[in-house]
Amino acid sequence: MEVEALVIDAKGMHYTPLNRKIREAVASGVKEIILNNVLGQRFICDGLRGDVKITINGVPGGDLGMFMSGPECEIFGDAEHAPGNTMDEGTLVIHGTAGDAVAHSMRGGKVFVEKNIGYRGGIHMKEYQGKHPVLVVGGTSHAFLGEYMAGGLILVLGIGHEAAVRDRGIGSGIHGGEIVIRGDVNEKLLGVGAKKVGFTDEDLERLTPVLNEFCERFGIDPSPFLDTSYSRIIPESSRPFAGNYTWE
Amino acid sequence: MSLGSVPLKYRISIDRDQCMKCMRCVDNCSYGVFRVEDDKILIDSRKCTACHRCISMCPRDAITLQERPVDYRSHPLWTVEAREDIINQARTGKIILAGMGNALDYPVIFDRLVLDACQVTNPSIDPLREPMELRTYIGKKPSKLDFTKNNADVELKTKLTPNLKLDTPIMIGHMSYGAISLNAQLSLAKAVAKTGTFMGTGEGGMHEAIYPYQDHMIVQIASGRFGVDINYLERGAAIEIKIGQGAKPGIGGHLPGEKVCSDVSCTRMIPLGSDAISPAPHHDIYSIEDLAQLVRGLKEATNWEKPVFVKIAAVHNVAAIAAGIARSSADAVVIDGFRGGTGAAPKVFRDNVGIPIEAAIAAVDQKLNDQGIRNEVSVIASGGIRNSGDLAKSIALGADAVYIGTASLIALGCRVCGNCYRGLCPWGIATQKPELVERIDPEVGAEHVANLIHAWTLELSELMGAAGINSIESLRGNRERLRGYMLDEGLLNVLRVESVGA
Amino acid sequence: MIDRTMARMDGSSIKKALSLMDERGSGEGAGYVAYGIYPDYADCYAIHVFFDNLLEPKSMVDEILQKWGRIVHQEEIPTYEQQDLKKEHIPWRYFFKPYTDLMVGTTNPDDDNVKHLVMTINSSIEGALVFSSGMNLGVFKAAGWPEDVANFYRIEDYRGYIWLAHNRYPTNTSGWWGGAHPFNLLDWSVVHNGEITSYGTNRRYVESNGYKCTMRTDTEVVAYLFDLLGRRHGLPSELIVKALAPPFWDEIDEMPEKQEEFMRVLRLTYGPALMNGPFAIVVATKDGIVGFTDRIKLRPLVVGEHGSRLYLSSEEAAIRTMDPDVENIYMPRAGEPVIGRVLE
């Protein structure tokens, strides 16, 4: 039986009753929820499970989709700090920009940001067994991108910008996963334990589905991006700091 | 140029007359001190860690251990440790890691505090025959009761947020699966379930084998977010955000890749064999307001059904930090003093950073009291609690309950040799090697740990009864029942305790 | 004792009753409080002060009172020399009306104003100690035997509908005047037999709520706890007693669900107010008296009733001294409040 989309006017609503409504709806089998007039409510879909699509019209507050496990959220507006924080599974599609620490500690699922993100994007993302988190940024990223990264993929396209990343500390402390940045990246911008390697045709083949999905989500023609003009940044070692210590 | 070797730390010898060559020492030593050649047990003392496994297993008491059999020229400043650390670093150029808690000879404040007992002006209470209440609730409390009055009918309006109910104010602190073995963790879990109290998972996720005891588990979320997903959060009886740890305030942790076996990898949800790196800060907490956010984020994810604790290392400004935490939605503040144990920490941190738990409890209790919010939040103290005396003193200084760590491991066999980081623990505690892990029978281990908790609980009851107190609430923060012995005035002021005789 | 019809009784019988229990004291402190004794100034706070002299301390108290309100009348409390009682202080009384608009952020500004003054004077003006601060009531106490203290103040000249009296055997502090019972703050007066082993915890709790302990003895926290829970948190007497001497957890666990929740929340909210150790306490307000003992009944308390009168005492003989025809005499259960409320 098809259940109709639930529309919630979130104007002036606190996040707790809002989340409660969402949770109740999902529990009762609703597959589509539309939140209108969202402005600043944090923790939307916090810890939410299930197979549901949630459309958010407005600017949600920080920690959107924190601990989320499964749902898909499409945001027509900018997101603030740490969307996808410690997310387990599911998708965030942000038609706009996002703040600092996007996809912090994300273990699975996808975060697509159409425009720019702030500092420390993808910090401590990690992968595990079948889970492989993906962060794709259409615009640019600031410093410490993929800091402490332990797995997954970060892809930054820099659409409309001369350089996708101009800030320092890329992949600082990285010990797993990969950071792929459109265009060349100055070695000086790499953080501790990160190394730049060539981007090959095999890499392109591997990433093509992600590129296609991202472009499709935002109605962009993928063809200009299907080449090898990328820099790929990976860990020098899976144990970046092991050499710093001696035992008593 | 060679620096040569440094002298032996321990010398092991066997009384050959006593020895019956049962080979238990050879089988039990995981460090390789003993080997058999031509039917003779040979000894390599340099490998000894003083874990006492061989001694405890020898049926004839034939093994002797001597610490520091070789003298250095004695010197009050250039201690043996100072000299050997320099030699080590001259060789390696590296940061020295060490196990267990602070090993410097700082005075122990607990040992300079004495408890009170009744004489004449009020009667002591015999806990064996009269009621003695140790039940402790950990969590937020209202500042005042809210109710409606309808003539004689009084209707409660206050809604209490979830609290943990402890039968005794002793909990077991966070030691992760990975840092300790599954059998060790399972022993502790069974023990807390038996004794009506709780323990922490540490930052290692929760292994399936622990699920039956999940109602007694406090699940930790630390900067690495290892093993953290919504299922994990929902399993716990409470959630604890770990900001810092007394043994190494201000830095993160590394679980070396070689300890990440397949089971540990599953529980932590990280790849096999890669280092599990906990960053120093939580990267979604760069300020007190961000902490409040994470507290709310966790509560929101779990439908406001779980108490959330925040653990900090006892540092200089601990009181103000705790007051900030108390103002968030957090239900309890955990303070970990500078004697807190650890599997591995940079020695310079372990021995030099942070403050003692006694002063930290008093300062936090005072600050919260000054701000009129002491009873609204619980205070859990940890870091070097060795016996029921320390426990009673901690509560009288202002703690609601304590976490024990090292003490609970000693109940499982640990002899505080401090080599946890090597992963070869012959007692099966700090190791993931199956043949060592199986040396702990979780049923037996649980009994020992439960015995310990039970014994301390009895002793605490006796101490309270002697002080004429029959409910733990009346001991909490009751500085009148403490006196300082040979403590200086500055410290007495911090502790808000009078001197003996005063 | 209380007369629930508010019929006023003079202090002669309670003097006799207290003297009967000289065995319980050491001649180092005794006191009385009576409610309804100042009908001419019924709407003023009657502030009783011990002055060491009438120079600096008094001028400082005058000054602070005049800053915070109006002194309607003041005089030395009449006293009469007793051979065995050394007059160490000059007892003085003010009838005082605080300026209501000076205290903000409170629902009862007058009481908070006077409470603030009491705390300030007692902690900062040397040579002055406020020992009574309620409306239409007064504490009379000194270091000495009960009959000497009674004669010193001629308490038979006062007529009140509630009387509390106390005979002290001091341990915590030597017999100084301020340490004698009753302890009073605003409308609350307390007499206490025993020692509070939870004093340190209770003290920190009341201090945390803005009270200052200045009497150097454990009983004063009881007055502050009643003021905090009763006046500021609005708890009725029964609930205050349940907070201070709660049922044991095993009893709470057995209660019906709603009651269990109520008691659990009450106990958790007021954990630091729980009083431990041996005590029998009687607390008075203008609306009545409440007596209770510690949870395991380590101190005696006897109740007597006769018509509109209710008597509470450590000994039955004292009650029979006051009222030879007393009818119903019984011993209340531990931790259960005995309440005598004035009839509306």
pLDDT of residue A83: 97
Nearest alpha carbon to residue B340 among B159, B139, B175: B175
Nearest alpha carbon to residue B182 among B92, B267, B119: B267
- Band of pLDDT at residue C172, cut at 50, 70 and 90: low
Given CA atoms B397, B400, B406, B411 in this order, what sign does their dihedral have?
A: positive
pLDDT of residue C173: 66
Measured distance CA(B198)–CA(C281) in Å, rounded: 39
What is the average pLDDT score of chain C? 92
pLDDT of residue B84: 95
List the single best residue of B283, B302, B348 to mutate versus A (max A Cβ within 10 A): B283
Phi and psi of B42, rounded to 5°? -100, 155
Residue by residue, DSSP assigns B231-298 as HHHHHSSEEEEE---TTSTT--EEE-GGG--HHHHHHHT--TTS-EEEPSS-TT-SSHHHHHHHHHHH
Q: How many domains does chain B have?
A: 2
Phi and psi of A43, rounded to 5°? 55, 25
Nearest alpha carbon to residue C183 among C227, C229, C238: C227
How far from the centroid of its chain's Cα atoms is residue A44's Cα? 16
- Indicate the DSSP class of residue C230: I
Asked whether residue B473 is domain-assigned, the answer is no
pLDDT of residue C252: 97
- Indicate the DSSP class of residue C171: S
pLDDT of residue B1: 63
The answer to whether residues B68 and B11 touch, using CB atoms and an 8 Å cutoff, is no
Cα–Cα separations (whole angstroms), residue A193 to A101, A153, C162: 20, 17, 83
Residues of A in contact with B98 (CB under 8 A): 247-248
Cα–Cα separations (whole angstroms), residue B395 to B382, B398, C63, C325: 11, 5, 44, 51
Measured distance CA(B343)–CA(B339) in Å, rounded: 13
Give the CATH class of C2-192+296-341. Answer: alpha beta
Look at B230 and A47 and tell me if their CB atoms are within 8 Å. yes
Chains near A with 3+ CB pairs less than 8 A apart are B
Per-residue pLDDT of C10-34, as tens digits, reads: 999 898 888 888 888 887 889 999 9
The answer to whether residues A147 and B288 touch, using CB atoms and an 8 Å cutoff, is no
The label of the residue with tokens 């969590």 reads: B139
Q: How many residues does chain C have?
A: 344
How far from the centroid of its chain's Cα atoms is residue A123's Cα? 10
CATH domain A97-242 topology: Pectate Lyase C-like (2.160.20)
Measured distance CA(B258)–CA(B275) in Å, rounded: 8
Any chain A CB within 8 A of the CB of B256? yes
ipTM of the complex: 0.91
Helix (H) or strand (E) holding C259: helix C257-269
**Residues B188, B328 within the same domain:** yes
The answer to whether residues A181 and A156 touch, using CB atoms and an 8 Å cutoff, is yes
The label of the residue with tokens 């020229």 reads: B73
Contacts of B287 (CB under 8 A, 6+ apart): none
**Residues B85, B204 within the same domain:** no
- Cα angle, residue B95 at apex, residues B12 and B267 outer, rounded to 5°: 85
Residues of B in contact with A131 (CB under 8 A): 269
pLDDT of residue C176: 84
Report residue C297 as tokens. 């009944």
Angle between helices A15-27 and B288-301 (to 10 degrees): 30
Any chain B CB within 8 A of the CB of C208? yes
The answer to whether residues A140 and A158 touch, using CB atoms and an 8 Å cutoff, is yes
Per-residue pLDDT of C75-108, as tens digits, reads: 999 999 999 888 999 999 999 999 988 778 777 8
Last residue in a domain, options B77, B94, B111: B94
Phi and psi of A106, rounded to 5°? -65, 135
Helix (H) or strand (E) holding A73: strand A69-76
Any chain A CB within 8 A of the CB of B329? no
How many Å lie between the alpha carbon of C248 and the closest alpha carbon of chain B? 8
Per-residue pLDDT of C232-272, as tens digits, reads: 999 998 999 999 999 999 999 999 999 999 999 999 999 99
List the single best residue of A86, A144, A178 to mutate versus B (max B Cβ within 10 A): A86
Residues of A in contact with B46 (CB under 8 A): none
Look at A63 and B98 and tell me if their CB atoms are within 8 Å. no
Per-residue pLDDT of B218-239, as tens digits, reads: 999 999 899 999 999 999 999 9
Measured distance CA(B381)–CA(B357) in Å, rounded: 7
Question: Which residues of chain A have a pLDDT value below 50?
Answer: none
Which of B97, B228, B266 is opposite residue A86, by nearest beta carbon? B228
Provide mean pLDDT across the span C154-163.
95
The answer to whether residues C187 and C286 touch, using CB atoms and an 8 Å cutoff, is yes
**Residues B355, B275 within the same domain:** yes
**Residues B176, B305 within the same domain:** yes
The label of the residue with tokens 């959220």 reads: A73
Cα–Cα separations (whole angstroms), residue B487 to B319, B478, B500: 21, 18, 10
Q: What is the CA radius of gyration of chain B?
A: 24
Look at A42 and B96 and tell me if their CB atoms are within 8 Å. no
Range of the domain at B28: 10-94
Report residue C57 as tokens. 């301390």
For chain C, give every domain's residue range: 2-192+296-341
Per-residue pLDDT of A172-188, as tens digits, reads: 999 999 999 999 999 99
**Residues B355, B442 within the same domain:** yes
Percent of chain A with pLDDT over 90: 92
**Residues B87, B188 within the same domain:** no
Q: How much helix, strand and coil, in percent to the nearest 5, is found in chain B?
A: 35, 20, 45
Neighbours of C5 (CB within 10 A): 12
Look at B421 and A247 and tell me if their CB atoms are within 8 Å. yes
Nearest alpha carbon to residue C222 among C247, C248, C185: C185
> CA B3, B7, B8, B11: dihedral to nearest 10 degrees?
150
- Cα angle, residue A8 at apex, residues A6 and A13 outer, rounded to 5°: 155
Question: Would you give per-residue pLDDT tens digits along chain B (502 residues)?
Answer: 688 899 999 999 999 999 999 999 999 999 999 999 999 999 999 999 999 999 999 999 999 999 999 999 999 999 999 999 999 999 999 999 998 889 999 999 999 999 999 988 888 888 888 999 999 999 999 999 999 988 778 899 999 999 999 999 999 999 999 899 999 999 999 999 999 999 999 988 999 999 999 999 999 999 989 999 999 999 999 999 999 999 999 988 777 777 777 888 888 888 777 778 888 888 888 889 999 999 999 999 999 999 999 999 999 999 999 999 999 999 999 999 999 999 888 999 999 999 999 999 999 999 999 999 999 999 999 999 999 999 999 999 999 999 999 999 999 999 999 999 889 999 999 999 999 999 999 999 999 999 999 999 999 999 999 999 999 999 999 999 999 999 999 999 999 999 999 9
pLDDT of residue C216: 72
- Three-state SS annotation for C265-317: HHHHHCHHHCCCCCEEEEEEECCEEEEEECCCCCCCCEEEEECCEEEEECCHH
Cα–Cα separations (whole angstroms), residue C88 to A149, B198, B439, C55, C295: 78, 58, 76, 15, 38
Name the B residues in 62-101 with CB < 8 Å from any A CB: 85, 88-89, 91-92, 94-99
Cα–Cα separations (whole angstroms), residue B282 to A107, A216, B291, B294: 16, 34, 9, 10
Per-residue pLDDT of B450-478, as tens digits, reads: 999 999 999 999 999 999 999 999 999 99
Verify B-C touch: 3 or more CB pairs within 8 A.
yes
Measured distance CA(A105)–CA(A121) in Å, rounded: 10
Residues of B in contact with C197 (CB under 8 A): 118, 122, 467-469, 474, 481
Which of C200, C208, C235 is opposite residue B478, by nearest beta carbon? C200
Given CA atoms B88, B92, B93, B98 in this order, what sign does their dihedral have?
A: negative
- Band of pLDDT at residue C336, cut at 50, 70 and 90: confident
Any chain B CB within 8 A of the CB of C87? no
Name the B residues in 420-439 with CB < 8 Å from any A CB: 421-422
Q: Is cis: bond before A17, omega within 30 of 0?
A: no
Name the B residues in 303-342 with CB < 8 Å from any C CB: none
pLDDT of residue C130: 96
Neighbours of A115 (CB within 10 A): 17
Last residue in a domain, options B94, B120, B149: B94
Helix (H) or strand (E) holding C21: none
pLDDT of residue A3: 61
**Residues B169, B63 within the same domain:** no
Measured distance CA(A111)–CA(B309) in Å, rounded: 30
List the single best residue of C207, C213, C268 to mutate versus B (max B Cβ within 10 A): C268
Residue B352 in 3-state DSSP? helix
Measured distance CA(C94)–CA(C118) in Å, rounded: 13
pLDDT of residue B259: 72
- Cα angle, residue B129 at apex, residues B125 and B135 outer, rounded to 5°: 75
**Residues B227, B361 within the same domain:** yes
- Three-state SS annotation for B24-80: HHHHHCCCCCEEEECCEEEECHHHCCCCCHHHHHCCCCCEEEEECCCCCCCCCCCCH
The label of the residue with tokens 């669900």 reads: C257
**Residues B297, B177 within the same domain:** yes
Look at A67 and B228 and tell me if their CB atoms are within 8 Å. yes
Nearest alpha carbon to residue B205 among B173, B187, B169, B231: B231
Measured distance CA(C99)–CA(B105) in Å, rounded: 60
How many Å lie between the alpha carbon of B321 and the closest alpha carbon of chain A? 23
Look at B297 and A15 and tell me if their CB atoms are within 8 Å. no
Residues of C in contact with B115 (CB under 8 A): none
Residue by residue, DSSP assigns C91-148 as EEEEEEEE-GGG--S-S-HHHHHHHHHHHHHHHH-TTEEEEE--BTEEEEEESS-HHH
Residue type, B113: L
